[in-house]
Amino acid sequence: MNQINYNDGILSFKLSATDYSESVVYKCMYWYLGDYNVAISKDVNDYMVTISLKNAKNFDEEELIVCLKNDLIDFKLRELVNNETSTIRELITAKAFANYDFNMNEESLHEISDPVGFDPKDIKL
Amino acid sequence: MITTLDQKKTRKFKDAENYKTETDTYYLLPLKFKSLNNNYDIITNDIGDFVIVPKNVVTKIVTKQLRKEDDLEVYYELLANFMISETPVSELLEVIVARYRTKKAFLDQFTSLHIFVISLRCEHTCHYCQVSRVTQNKEAFDMSTFHIDEGIKLMMQSPNPNITMEFQGGEALLAFDKIEYAVAQAKKLATAYNKNITFVICTNLAPLTDEMLVFIKDNDILVSTSLDGPKFIHNENRKRPGNNSYELTIAGIEKCREVLGEDKVSALMTTSSLSLKHPKEIIDEYVGLGFANIFLRPISPYGFAKYNPNKNHYFIEEFLDFYKEGLLHILDYNKKGIFIAEDYASILLKKIFTPFAVGYVDLQSPAGILNSVVVFNYDGKIYASDEARMIAESKDYKFQVGVLGESSYEEVFYGEKILEIAESWSNESLAGCSDCAFQPYCGADPVLNYATQGDLYGFRPTSIFCKKNMEIIRFLFELMTEDKENERIFKSWITGFQT
């Protein structure tokens, strides 16, 4: 967070577009929309964010800044996870929902036995 | 490939050393995380596994700074719970896939709960009731035999072999002749369609007679009643001529237990503004009556209930205080050896601790509407859920999906309205939910979003659904990290097995 300013109930700051993607900035600020008015704009290098409380003028800006910094880190970490795992997640979902026919009565092609003494063929259906 | 006898020497686990690998490189599997409290974060995955770690460990994991030799316990916890893998594609991918499919198995079976609003008539005037009440004109406000027949025809077309036919009101027992007819008709068709039907009557028990009980017993029907707590709460919430709802309900419960058996009658409570101040008294009442479970339910923000704000309105935070105080009181009972479970927690705990899908309509993704429940109203209109019917009581027919006798099964269950709702019924794809660590335990509720926020998609930062579920799930995990005894009790609620 750069160029942090708090004046007359309005907190403004810049986030480097190199450090934070659009997705991280918007996902993070989404959770502040319940209590705050949030405006986000972008120039070449930075996102400019302004925040003001919806129902009151002044607030503890130090506390809010700590919260914002933590949340930005969390959403950045989530993006790292999503970037690394999106393909595997798609694979899991696609395989899980794939249509297939499963016939319980079909003869298994594999030998079924167990060396610890349990014979599944003993099960009475 | 056929395994030879030489290859399979034993299936016993080998020494721990055999499972240690030399690699120090790991790959992330799909995971989500969130703060549990000031000391811990929780990491979850799509199949419901969880690992609780001290603060700052998540950063180490994601940025690949976790070292096996330094953090052996955490490392293997993450590995065993499918949060990380030592190969680019997990060797146990098929296990993850099978478990994910199991979690979503409720979709294979489709609609199970079929609610028949058999009558809108009721002799109670509960101030929080979600539907309008009428006491006269049986012809106009009882379900016709034509609509009952058409509802049963649709019910028989459900792909689900196990279906529930639930009779609701108004007061369902006021139209007992219609219940008798409906049960007989459904039973006739059940054999032909190979359906196993569970019958349920939701009733305040006031109109219950001995003759009714004979029929209920003969047809193995379950009874679900309302009990809001001790007399001073119940009778204040549930008004009727004579102001004796509590006395009639208690007498009805005793009669049902005597004739039908202890396990054939259950009770539900609704939390009014008055109830908020008395969680312990309400729970004590249930324990005193010998119930082994209680469902601490907030008031529904639907239909008629909205128009009595003095008695019905409270903030979700007030309900959460009530719920937590109640849950702690319930845990105290269990610690003293008296088994009583809280139903909402039990549903969440099943999702947390078991690999199975949980058939609770309000906590499913895709949502339970139509996937698990459909409502046939007394007037023949078909709604996507009970809450959708309540919204319609305010003349808003957003979730009416058809008319009995006019709409085909395909029009009701695969029509354009459902396609529109389906865009907002998976929490995996909703803003605010998709990244949430509690998403696998939670659900999606477009009907509640519409009723409280004006659109199907909803807005998580101010959603009462989100606030309630996030805090209750967080509280459950916190209780388990604070005291292992709490975890043991919670597990006994889902297994019924007390150690």
Restricting to A residues 36-55, those with a Cβ less than 8 Å away from any Cβ of B are none
Contact of A95 with chain B, judged by CB distance below 8 Å, is answered with yes
Whether B9 and A35 lie within 8 Å, measured CB to CB: no
Count the neighbouring beta carbons within 10 Å of the beta carbon of residue B495: 12
Tens digits of per-residue pLDDT, A103-122? 555 555 555 555 555 555 66
Closest CA to B142 of B120, B158, B124: B120
Tens digits of per-residue pLDDT, B279-299? 999 999 999 999 999 999 998
**Which pLDDT score, from 0 to 100, does residue B8 have?**
52
The CB-based long-range contact list for A14-17 (8 Å cut-off, 24+ gap) reads A14/A46, A14/A47, A14/A48, A14/A49, A15/A46, A15/A47, A15/A49, A15/A72, A16/A45, A16/A46, A17/A42, A17/A44, A17/A45, A17/A46, A17/A47
Q: Which residues of A touch B11 (CB under 8 A)?
A: 114-116
**Which pLDDT score, from 0 to 100, does residue B1 have?**
44
Tens digits of per-residue pLDDT, B311-370? 667 889 999 999 999 999 999 999 999 999 999 999 999 999 999 888 888 899 999 999
- The alpha-carbon gap from B62 to the nearest alpha carbon of chain A, in Å, equals 7
Contact of A23 with chain B, judged by CB distance below 8 Å, is answered with no
**Which pLDDT score, from 0 to 100, does residue B163 have?**
96
The one-character DSSP state at B142 is B
The pair of three-digit structure tokens given for residue B5, joined into one six-digit string: 């006898």
**Which pLDDT score, from 0 to 100, does residue B304 have?**
47
**Which pLDDT score, from 0 to 100, does residue B124 have?**
84
Strand partners, B27: B85
Whether B62 and A80 lie within 8 Å, measured CB to CB: yes
Top-level class of domain B108-414 = alpha beta
The pair of three-digit structure tokens given for residue B465, joined into one six-digit string: 């659904």
d(CA B60, CA B67): 9
Test the A interface: residue of B78, B92, B96 with most A CBs within 10 Å:
B96
Closest CA to B452 of B464, B460, B443, B444: B464
Nearest CA in chain A to B89: A88
Closest CA to B456 of B430, B493, B432: B430
- Strand, helix or coil for residue A13: strand
Residue A47 CB partners (closer than 8 Å, separation 6+): A14, A15, A17, A20, A22, A25, A40, A41
ipTM for the whole complex: 0.87
Under 8 Å between Cβ of B113 and B373: yes
Q: Where in chain B are the domains?
A: 24-103, 108-414
Closest CA to A14 of A24, A27, A4, A23: A4
Test the A interface: residue of B49, B100, B464 with most A CBs within 10 Å:
B100
**Which pLDDT score, from 0 to 100, does residue B494 have?**
92
Whether A92 and B46 lie within 8 Å, measured CB to CB: yes
| Token pair 């085909």 in the structure block, residue | B408
What string of DSSP letters covers A60-99? -HHHHHHHHHHHHHHHHHHHHHHHHHHHHHHHHHHHHT--
**Which pLDDT score, from 0 to 100, does residue B83 have?**
97
Q: Which of A93, A110, A114 sits opposite B2 (nearest CB)?
A: A110
**Which pLDDT score, from 0 to 100, does residue B140 have?**
81
**Which pLDDT score, from 0 to 100, does residue B126 have?**
81
pTM assigned to the model: 0.90
Nearest CA in chain A to B56: A74
Q: Which residues of A touch B435 (CB under 8 A)?
A: 27, 75, 78
**Which pLDDT score, from 0 to 100, does residue B373 have?**
95
Test the A interface: residue of B2, B60, B101 with most A CBs within 10 Å:
B101
CATH 2.60.40 fits A2-91, yes or no: no
Chain B positions touching chain A (beta carbons under 8 Å): 1-3, 5, 8-12, 27-34, 46, 58-59, 62-63, 89-90, 93-94, 96-98, 100-101, 104, 431-432, 435, 459-462
d(CA B405, CA B409): 10
pLDDT, block means (10 residues), chain B with 499 residues:
50 70 84 96 97 95 93 94 93 93 90 96 79 67 96 97 94 96 97 96 96 97 97 92 92 97 94 94 98 92 54 84 98 97 97 90 93 95 92 90 97 94 95 96 95 94 95 98 96 82
Q: Which residues of B touch A91 (CB under 8 A)?
A: 89, 93
Tens digits of per-residue pLDDT, A19-47? 999 999 999 999 999 999 999 999 999 99
Phi-psi region of B229 (alpha: psi -120 to 50; beta: other; left: phi over 0): left
As a three-state string, the secondary structure of B375-388 is EECCCCEEECCHHH
Q: For helices B464-482 and B343-353, give the axis angle rounded to 10 degrees.
A: 70
- Strand, helix or coil for residue B122: coil
Test the A interface: residue of B6, B12, B14, B29 with most A CBs within 10 Å:
B29
Whether B30 and A88 lie within 8 Å, measured CB to CB: yes
Rg over CA atoms, chain A:
27
